Chains A and B, each alone.
Chain A
């Protein structure tokens, strides 16, 4: 099952990337540089999706106390962190030729950076608590609070930027670029699910080992 799904997901990813790199037309102003967005934007979407999964799993853990939800929260947040890191890196690489700087305080990019820090902290915390139950409980509580902060962080950064009269990039997307963007969103979702599945398996094996 998993192997079949993985194969399909990887093939689909290759297909979507081919479309993005070869079939989609170059952009009027930025040329081929913009193609990095076909990974950057889907990675950001899926990062947010994974972190939302982690949030829901954390709340469910606090209510139901099933170790499964703890493993889900840990695994999805880890995949989310990786995708967040990827988003940041690509955003920075894209920013250099586009804006001439590696970093701009664009609200979305800044929020992503803060998210990265927040969830890195969460990962560190998870590794510092030895007792499985304590770890699950405390990380679920803090994980919930961290996610609650996402919209607050976003609006605070947005207001902060508008006050300084700095434009964020206008993101009008041409119709022939919408399709490859969507394709890639699902392609990366496929990859994220593979990661999540494998991470869940590792977590399950780890807790089995702990129980022996």
Chain B
């Protein structure tokens, strides 16, 4: 009832308040050019903190209409170019025209980010550690699914599809994500498992991916135990754009006879292919859209891993008035795949475990749908309101003997909710953000919950606030909190208060120092709490699960430098951090019940150092990135017996180089190294052969790309060194594969 009232008040306010401002509005237009005065298409022009903006067209021109008179900060940005920043003053009826020249930078210096403070700001001003992955990083590496892109993000490691930010997650079978996952700022963790459906994200329409490193529940609530990933989708271009990408790839047979002798499919090449088409357009000044369709199919590089999947996604934007704008992202996906959960043994690593006792495969068809309507409303030039709504549902249908099972064995989960956020520019570099949200989360599964009660729900209410103030022109202070209230069951609630405090000090324009402190938490998902199933291994429910809690401190510095080599420049980010984790959930075998159960088991501490350096020529023909993460993870569950934290590498190194020896030719190499897990101690090792084996990751990816004008052709070799390794227990990570990719932008 309260929510309905809120809606009425909100929309009522919009209906009655926007008309006068239209009559007084101004127009802001201009041209974006390259350094040598040529038109610059595709640059983003934003009036910071308002939602007003445009993308420059093929002639470099842009227009922002119906802007309320006020003073604005303009940000003109494009990946690979130095962001231009200017303060403008718009008067009623004025048509202000400006020209901006973007200077090419070898690096993605000072991108505009939005996740760190729930408002647009330059990365260099963000008072927390944030890694940004741009659209080009995704395109040139033939990234089909977002999790693959995260492997190239500094400080991030993947264990299969569980994301580790600074070692936050480790690996836990069946446990939900310890990283909050947002799409355009809207939380998108699955209703049932609390995991991330990476295949729902339209990769061709990603503008950038922002990764906040460290606990982030003060702004983003449950799930942000170790960090936050925010996928920001593209805006609508002034001129229509159509792009097409297709690829075909092959995994050649593995080199070891032992792995090939029990599965005939391993004796030959294993193929995979896919196609992606996108169309985007600003149809009228008020209406814009993009659409994206994707299909992929694979034979799988090991037994029982073949299948197909696809998604359809669209984003529609409509400017109702100078004050009110709506953007709705709709995305749906279908995955029909055999699932290889764990191997028969390390000597038989390509064959799935299949015995009368153990079933190492999980064959499912998964259907998902997300509808995310976001309304933004400019009350006046200083007050900006956004209402983010969400419906996100999914159904998992087991495939038994090649056919979908009856409906009563389907697992269906859905979550829906809204979040209202008010951004108030108090002027004099002071910002206040207030917000509240509601989220219903429900899952139905006879298959996993058994018994008579197959419906479980976990509704949540939240309120949050953040205040920023600049002191003495050089110090930026950010304080925030969030209060979350979960109804675990009819007679049990969980409340969490998550504060944060960030202070940054701008020593000079090229160096920024920061200290940050924040809380994080994760409420165990419905599946962890109520699962009662023995399809793969026997698992029993634990309704007494408590939230996982984290507490993180960080001190860091980031800045820019110019190398004593002509036309070379670079940037760096160094952070020392200490994160404490309490009540981490792990699956534990209970001897008395002869079954696994999710329990609050681990108390951990991770101290570490996170360093990333980028350097290159300003013309972009040579780029170099290096990131190193040192983790000292301690399991302090038993104070008398402190052990290394499970499933964490001590050293993580990521390096990449990109060279353009000719104008149209680009060659790139990526390298990832992760040291052996410091400790592998799992009850699963008592049930799955060789589940405790692990060794360092040393993976090289190479790529060669030639631009023929309207068509770009790429040849990629992933895992070029034919290195065999495991990202998580009892499954081989992708073997060497060759990919031929064609891309066309029309």
**A and B from one assembly?**
no
Q: Which residues of B contact A (CB under 8 A)?
A: none
Q: Which residues of A contact B (CB under 8 A)?
A: none
